[in-house]
Amino acid sequence: MAGQFYAGTEKALRSQIEWCFKHELGPGEVPEPADKPLENLLALVCPHAGYMYSGPVASHAYARLAREGRPDVVVILGPNHTGYGRPVAVSASKAWRTPLGDVEVDTELAEAIANKAEIAALDDEAHIFEHSIEVQLPFLQFLYGRAFRVVPICMMFQDLKTSTELGEAMASAVSETGLSTLLIASTDLTHYEPHDVAVRKDSEVVKAVEALDVSALYKAVEELPVSMCGYGPVAAVMVASLRLGAKKGELLKYATSGDITGDKRAVVGYASMAITR
């Protein structure tokens, strides 16, 4: 997705990420990562549209991460927009590449999660044309260089049973590593509705994550309805976080594409959130 969802060269991409942090809808400054393992921060919810649209909102999640410390491993869950691959596809690659370099995949943790979740399988086909996970990598590389590994997981099935099974498997596998591990759920919220409608509907999703209430999340998505693309990844991350001792969710920033472009007739909603002990 380099040159599409984000800039295609190292210099331009670093400049673009700095722009996201310094944007009026961003945190306002480029953070300096604290040199310590993560303690209270378990997970982030982060948008995945093109950086020009959702980058400033996404940068709030990474500013919070930088303040909290340095993860050894980042497990990134995203929805499957393409229909390719297995229902829950854990990347089997050795590394992923962006203009900022290669990111090593933690193959041991990837295999452990795939083995513990019956619905999951090692599969790269689902990842080939998928953007939701890839767009998170440059922010992590910008902050930490090569000093972290990733486990990319692409979800086509997003029902409650699948998300619960995957979340429990992730918690079990992560707790066995002893590593400083961060979970990221990559999702956009309401798609292509008027700004005021998006704000109203998305607020129910935010409340559910703040309360760590998985059933409330599914109720909002199904009954309002909310056309968020990655409710399964969010639910799985909530389940895993609860198993790992999470106490609360916190909204870091919400905005819509209309706040960026000025056109509020049909917007996409974006939220950055943190889940902490």
Residue 4 within any structural domain of the chain: no
Residue 112 within any structural domain of the chain: yes
Rounded Cα distance, 71 and 16, in Å: 23
What is the DSSP secondary structure assignment for residue 72, as one 8-state letter?
S
Residue 29 within any structural domain of the chain: yes
| Percent of the chain's residues with pLDDT above 70 | 100
pLDDT band at 217; cut points 50, 70, 90: very high
Measured in whole angstroms, the distance separating CA 106 from the mean position of its chain's CA atoms is: 17
pLDDT band at 175; cut points 50, 70, 90: very high
Tell me the residue range of the domain where 100 lies.
10-276
Q: Which residues contact 61 (CB under 8 A, 6 or more apart)?
A: 44, 45, 46, 184, 252, 272, 273, 274
Q: What are the tens digits of pLDDT across the range 61-75?
A: 999 999 999 999 999
The mean pLDDT of 251-262, rounded to a whole number, is 97
Alpha-carbon distances of 160 from 154, 188, 189, 252, 262, rounded to whole Å: 16, 19, 18, 25, 36
DSSP line for 217-277: HHHHHHHTT---S-HHHHHHHHHHHHHTT--EEEEEEEEEHHHHHS--SSEEEEEEEEEE-
Residue 70 within any structural domain of the chain: yes
Query: Which pLDDT score is estimated for 206?
Result: 98
Residue 235 within any structural domain of the chain: yes
Query: Which pLDDT score is estimated for 52?
Result: 95
Query: Which pLDDT score is estimated for 65?
Result: 98
Query: Which pLDDT score is estimated for 250?
Result: 98
Residue 247 within any structural domain of the chain: yes
Query: Which pLDDT score is estimated for 54?
Result: 98
Rounded Cα distance, 52 and 30, in Å: 17
Rounded Cα distance, 86 and 113, in Å: 15
Residue 1 within any structural domain of the chain: no
Give the chain's domain count.
1
Query: Which pLDDT score is estimated for 121?
Result: 97
Residue 204 within any structural domain of the chain: yes
Query: Which pLDDT score is estimated for 165?
Result: 98
Q: Which two tokens stand for residue 96?
A: 């992923």
For residue 145, give the CATH number of its domain.
3.40.830.10
The mean pLDDT of 241-263, rounded to a whole number, is 97
Query: Which pLDDT score is estimated for 136?
Result: 98
What mean pLDDT, rounded, does the chain reach? 97
Q: What are the tens digits of pLDDT across the range 96-136?
A: 999 999 999 999 999 999 999 999 999 999 999 999 999 99
The mean pLDDT of 75-85, rounded to a whole number, is 97
The region that residue 101 occupies, defined by phi over 0 for left and psi between -120 and 50 for alpha, beta otherwise, is left
Indicate yes or no: pTM above 0.95: yes
C-beta separation of 152 from 122 below 8 A: no
